[in-house]
Chain A
Amino acid sequence: MKKKALFLYSFTLVGIVIWLGLIFLTPYLKSRSPESNIFLYALFSPLCHQIPSRSFFIFNYPLAVCARCLGIYFGFFAGAGLFPFVRRFSNLTLPKTRTLIFFTFPVALDFIGNLFRLFRSSNGLRFSTGFIWGALLPFYFIPGMVDFLSKLKTRKASSDAKMLSK
């Protein structure tokens, strides 16, 4: 189990680094060749509204995702980095419900406040609230996916046993 968790952890960490790299690569490529870079923006478009006024700009172009999404992904990266120190691979339980509520409260408040025009958040605030929420997500994702892989293995083993008995 620990080996599986370590493998999945490494895979997740590498995945999020590549993901963040692509988000920053998109405006860079757009600045190099404005005509030919529909591909990367289109790749991220199902995941994010990509409204330029709600995104950070680098190389004079917006990043591939909005400030809140960027915060969530950076938060996920930070949470994944902290995972071995906070949780350890021998304790793969899911967080408590009150922890989820605590981490979700800032992003929910920010979203609801903007939706009902109670206030208007800056991109920095959107990033920060997204970051807080995103930091919790690896603590669900890693234990859950370890359990998922174990389930797949068990199902495969039971179907193999059935085949042999036939």
Chain B
Amino acid sequence: MKSRRPNLFIPALIGGAVAGALSSIPLFNCLCCIWIIGGAMLAAFLLVKDSPDVLSAGDGAIVGILTGIIAAVVHSFIDIPLWPFVRGFFQNMMKWVAEYTEETPSGWEDWFGGELSAFRFFLELMASAVFFSILGALGGIMGISLFGKKTQHKIQGASDASQNAGHRQS
């Protein structure tokens, strides 16, 4: 019987939009990279829900990479309107920290003072696309491990345990 190939794009779009948005918003973004892993886990969950087949960790990695790329685009575009607010938030925070700290590094007032230039935007977009896709792959694999249907660990032609890469221990 021919198995239906699951649609990866819709789960990746939902997971990427959620992860990209939450990782950009001040206060929420204090969870750092965990939002991207969480978004990819959400995408893996949606993928498992839609797919009648047993999915392997490789499927999770694929949907996770897609989620990471979408999250990077969403993150970068949300950053543009939020940048003045983010900058003000961190500058105020640094002033507050300086009141309670004996030694602060020189020039700290300017750390968040730069404008969001086209170069910085492009650099952050490229960097986040690469890093988010790695983290997304990790989240997708973890998502399949958590939500995936259990298998009997037999891959076509498998002769030993080394053929069982990426399947959860039962």
CB within 8 Å of B: which residues of A? 1-2, 5, 34, 38-39, 42-49, 51-53, 57, 60-62, 65-66, 68-69, 72, 89-97, 100, 111, 137, 140-141, 143-151
B interface SS class: helix
* A34, A39, A62, A94 pick with most chain B CB within 10 angstroms: A94
19 inter-chain pairs at a CB distance below 8 angstroms, sorted by A residue, are: A5-B162, A46-B128, A46-B131, A51-B90, A51-B93, A90-B160, A90-B161, A93-B168, A95-B145, A97-B146, A100-B145, A141-B138, A143-B141, A143-B166, A144-B138, A145-B61, A147-B165, A148-B58, A151-B59
> Do B169 and A34 touch across chains, with their CB atoms under 8 A apart?
no
> Do A140 and B145 touch across chains, with their CB atoms under 8 A apart?
yes
> Do A147 and B57 touch across chains, with their CB atoms under 8 A apart?
yes
> Would you give the shortest CB distance from B55 to chain A, in whole angstroms?
10
B163 an interface residue at 8 Å Cβ cutoff? yes
> Would you give the shortest CB distance from B119 to chain A, in whole angstroms?
9
> Would you give the shortest CB distance from A100 to chain B, in whole angstroms?
7
Question: Contacts of A66 on B, CB cut-off 8 Å?
Answer: 32
Residue of A nearest to B148 (CB): A94
B85 an interface residue at 8 Å Cβ cutoff? no
Measured in the bound complex, the distance between the Cα atoms of B31 and A52 in whole Å is 15
CB-contacts of B55-114 with A (<8 A): 56-62, 72, 75-76, 90, 93-94, 97, 101, 105-108, 111, 114
> Do B58 and A48 touch across chains, with their CB atoms under 8 A apart?
no
> Do B165 and A143 touch across chains, with their CB atoms under 8 A apart?
yes
